[in-house]
Structure 1
Amino acid sequence: MRLLKLVPDNTNIGFLKWRHVAMAISMISIIASIALVATRGLNLGVDFVGGQMMRVTFSQPVNLDALRGTVDAAVKGEANIQQFGSARDVSIRTSLPEGGEDAANQAAERLKAAILKAHPDAVFGSVDTVSGKVSGELFETGAWSMFFAMLAISIYIWFRFEWQFGLGALFALFHDVALTFGLFALTQMEFNLNIVAALLTIIGYSLNDTIVIYDRIRENLRKYRKMELVPLLDLSINETLARTVMTSLTIIITLVVLLLLGPEVIFGFTAAMLFGIFVGTYSSMYMSAPLLVWTKVGSDSFVAKAGGQVAGAERTLKNETMPR
C-alpha cells in the first residue's frame, strides 16, 4: 500500500519571489489591525472588565431593541447586549450590583424572569460573574504572559541561531498576534481569557513551524556553500513543506469541526485558533524567511563558524587516534 503524499518529493515552489508582495500585504494588514483595535476596540468579556455575563438562546432571531428594553427594566445600570454565533444567540453583560455574591445571584434571577416573561422560548446558558479587581488582575496577567512568551522565544532563537533569525521570528509572532487582535476588533467577538490561551497557543505553533524551517535553512547554509540565499531559502521551505502542510491540515480539519459543531463557549477560542494557524503558517514562509534576505544573512559567516568547529573536531579526532 502506497503512502499518501500531499506534497511530492520534487516540489519546487518559488515562495521568495512573492516576498515583496507578501510583505506589503502583511504590513497593510498589521496597520489595519492596529487601527481597528484603536478605533473599534475589543469586546472585552467579564474576565477583563468585571461584571456579569449571561448567554441566552432564542428559538428565532430576536429584536435587540425590544430585548434591551426588557433588560433595562430588570437591572440597574447600563447593559451591553450583543449577538454572537447566530442571530438567535445573545450575550447580555451587566455591571455587578452591590452586596456581593447573593446580590449578584438575585440580579441574575430577576433578569432571567424578566426575559422569560417577554420570551418564553428563551434558553439560558452559562452565567459568569467576575469582580472588577479580579478582572483587572487577569487582564494584566494575560498581557504580561504574552509579552514574556514572545521575549523568551526571541532570546532563545537568538542564541540558538543568530540575531537575524531572532528578529525574523519576533516579527512573525507580532504579525500573527496583531492580525488576530484585528480579527476580534473587526468581528467584535468576545475577547476573554480563552482568547489569551488561544493567542499563546498560536505563538507556540507559529514558533514551532518557524524553527523547523530555520533549522533546515541552517543545515542548507552549511551544505550548499555556494548557493545564493534566495534559492536556498526556497529549497529549505520546500523541503519542510510536507511536514508543514500535514500538520496545519490536520489541525485545521479538527478546528473546523469544532467551529461548526462545538459548544458555543469555545466558539471564540476555536475561531482564534483557526485564524491563527492559517496566519502562523503563512508568516513562517513569507515573514520569517524573507527577513533573512533583508537582514543580509550570508552563508559565509555560518560556514566559517561551522567549518571552524568541524576542523577543530577533525584535529581532535586525529590527535586521539594517532599512535603515541
Structure 2
Amino acid sequence: MELFHDVNIDWLGKKWYFLAFSLIFSVSGVISMGMHWAKIGSPVPLGVDFKGGTQVEVKFQNPPNQAEIRSAVEAAGIKDATVVQFGDASQREMLISLPESMNEAALDAGRQQIKGALAAHYNNPVVSDSAQVVGPTVGHQLEKQAGLATLYSLIGMLVYLWFRFELIYGVAAVVAVFHDTLITVGFFALFDKELSLTVIAAILTLVGYSMNDTIVVFDRIRENLRLSRREKLSDLVNRSINQTLSRTVLTSGLTFLTVLALFLFGGEVLHGFSFALVVGILIGTYSSIAVAAPMLVAYQDYRASKGKAAVLPAAKRGK
C-alpha cells in the first residue's frame, strides 16, 4: 500500500531547520537534567525500582480521596509518601509509595505502617499482599544495569551495521538513536516524570524501533547508489527518503496511534511507559529522516573537503 506517489520533498534542503529543532530539545533536556542533578543527585526523578522504597496497592470499599489518604498516612508518621490512582477509577484502587529515605531493614515494615494508618481512617481497606519492596542497594544495581543494557544495545547495533553496510552507516544510525534517547529522557526531566524499569523497557524498544526505521532508509540509499553512482548524493538521499515515506508514515503512524491510546487510557501505572513510547516514536521517525540520512551527506562533504573521493561507499552486496 502506497500513500504518496511521486513525492519530491527536499529534505536535505531543510537540514538547518532540523538541526535547530534537535538542538532546542536536546539542550533543553540537558539543562533540565542538570537542574535535577543539582537538586536530587539524579538527572531525572527515579522510581522505586531505582531509588528503593516500598509500593503498596490498596483497594477501598468507597471511591478514595487522594488528599485524605495522604493526610492519613502522614498522621501515622509516614512522610513524603506518594499516592496515585491505580488502574481504572471504578476499581477504587490506589498505589502508595514510600520514599527511599527509609533504611532497608525498615522497608518491609512499610506495608504494615500503611495498613495501620489506613485502618484508623477507613473501613476495612484491602491491602494487597504483593507489595513491591526495593532496597537502596538493589535500586542502584538496577540503575547501573539499565544503563549498561542501553549502552550494549547501541554498541551491538553499531557492530551489526558496520558489517551489514559500512562503518559510516553504523555511526550515523547510532548517533540518531543516541539523539532519540537523549531527547526522550530529556522529556522525562522537563515534565518531572519518574524513570522506572518499564520506562527503560520502552526506551530499549524505541532503540530497536528507531534503528529499524533508519535501516529501511539506508537500505534504499544503498540500492539507489548501486543504480545511480553519478547522481549527486543529496539528491539521491532525498529520493530515497521520499521513496520510503509511505512505509514510514504507515508503520510509524499506526504504532503512534496505538501508544497514544495507551497513554490516554492506560492509567497511571502505564503512564511513564506509554509517555516514553509516544515521545520516542515521534522523535525516532524524525531522526531517521532528519539526523541519520543527512550525516551520510555530511560525511561525503567532509571527504571532499579533504581531497578524498567524494563518493559515499556503497554497502557490500548481500551474498
- 1:19 is matched with 15
- 2:49 is matched with 47
State the identity as a percent.
34
Query: Which residue of 19, 28, 31 maps to 2:27?
Result: 31
Name the CA shift for 1:51/1:196 in 2 (closer, same or farther; >3 Å): same
Contact preservation (8 Å) 1:53, 1:94: no
SS of the aligned residue for 2:300 comes to coil
- 2:109 is matched with 103
Q: Do residues 94 (structure 1) and 92 (structure 2) align?
A: no
Q: CA separation in 2, counterparts of 1:241 and 1:12?
A: 11
Give TM-score, length-normalised by structure 1.
Answer: 0.80
- 2:306 is matched with none
Letter in 1 for 2:49: D
Q: CA separation in 2, counterparts of 1:176 and 1:8?
A: 26
Q: CA deviation at 1:204?
A: 0.2
Which string of whole-angstrom CA distances, capped at 9 and with x for unpartnered residues, describes residues 68-98 of structure 1?
554333245x42437689xx97754334466
CA RMSD of aligned residues (A): 3.2
Q: CA separation in 1, counterparts of 2:66 and 2:201?
A: 32
- 2:154 is matched with 150
Aligned length: 297
Q: Do residues 292 (structure 1) and 303 (structure 2) align?
A: no
Name the CA shift for 1:283/1:56 in 2 (closer, same or farther; >3 Å): farther
Q: CA deviation at 1:277?
A: 0.5
Contact preservation (8 Å) 1:199, 1:272: yes
- 1:113 is matched with 119
Name the CA shift for 1:150/1:68 in 2 (closer, same or farther; >3 Å): same
SS of the aligned residue for 1:264 comes to coil
Query: Tell me, which stretches of 5 or more residues in structure 2 are unaligned?
Result: 37-42, 302-308
Which string of whole-angstrom CA distances, capped at 9 and with x for unpartnered residues, describes residues 28-86 of structure 1?
211111111111342211100111134679958755xx76554333245x42437689x
Give TM-score, length-normalised by structure 2.
Answer: 0.81
**Mean alpha-carbon deviation: is it higher for 215-224 or for 8-17?**
8-17
- 2:180 is matched with 176
Name the CA shift for 1:14/1:55 in 2 (closer, same or farther; >3 Å): farther
Q: CA deviation at 1:144?
A: 0.4
Name the larger-Rg structure: 1
Which string of whole-angstrom CA distances, capped at 9 and with x for unpartnered residues, describes residues 182-211 of structure 1?
111122222100000000000000000001
SS of the aligned residue for 2:132 comes to strand
Query: Tell me, which stretches of 5 or more residues in structure 1 are unaligned?
Result: 314-324
Counterparts in 2 of 1:203-282, with a 5 A limit?
A: 203-282=207-286
Query: Which residue of 186, 189, 213 maps to 1:185?
Result: 189
Q: CA deviation at 1:124?
A: 7.5
- 2:74 is matched with 72
